[in-house]
Amino acid sequence: MDNNYLKDIFEPYDRLITINICGTEYQVPENNTILRGLQFIDLERISEAELCWNGECLDCQVWIKNGDKEKAAMSCRTNVTDGMIITRMSEALR
């Protein structure tokens, strides 16, 4: 794949950070949304998913561990943070 294309879809980043998705750790680029991080992990599948990418469809919802609770978030509007734990994902992202 053309690396210039990858530079165009991700926000600029200097390093990869670790997030946990349903019990598995992944490395994703800092300064990007969760949805872009998922695309970094599985470019083809996420790129071809039927998502609006702007928060209107709610199909990219994830649940993030927040203390002892979970907090729902739109993955297209929420940036990844180092150590983030995503406990559940919407059907469209699985």
pLDDT in tens, 70-88: 999 999 999 999 999 999 9
Where in the sequence is the domain holding 39, given as residue range(s)?
3-93
Sign of CA dihedral 89, 49, 25, 3: negative
> What is the reported pLDDT for 73?
97
Task: Tell me the helix, strand and coil percentages in the chain, rounded to 5.
Answer: 25, 35, 40
* Tally of structural domains, the chain: 1
- CATH number for the domain spanning 53: value is 3.10.20.30
Sign of CA dihedral 55, 57, 29, 12: negative
Q: What is the pLDDT of residues 4-63, one digit of tens each?
A: 666 689 999 999 999 999 999 999 999 999 999 999 999 999 999 999 999 999 999 999
The strand pairing partners of 36, in sequence order, are: none
| Residues 6+ positions from 57 with CB-CB distance below 8 Å | 51
Whether residue 1 has pLDDT greater than 50:
no
> What is the reported pLDDT for 82?
98
CB 22 within 8 A of CB 88: yes
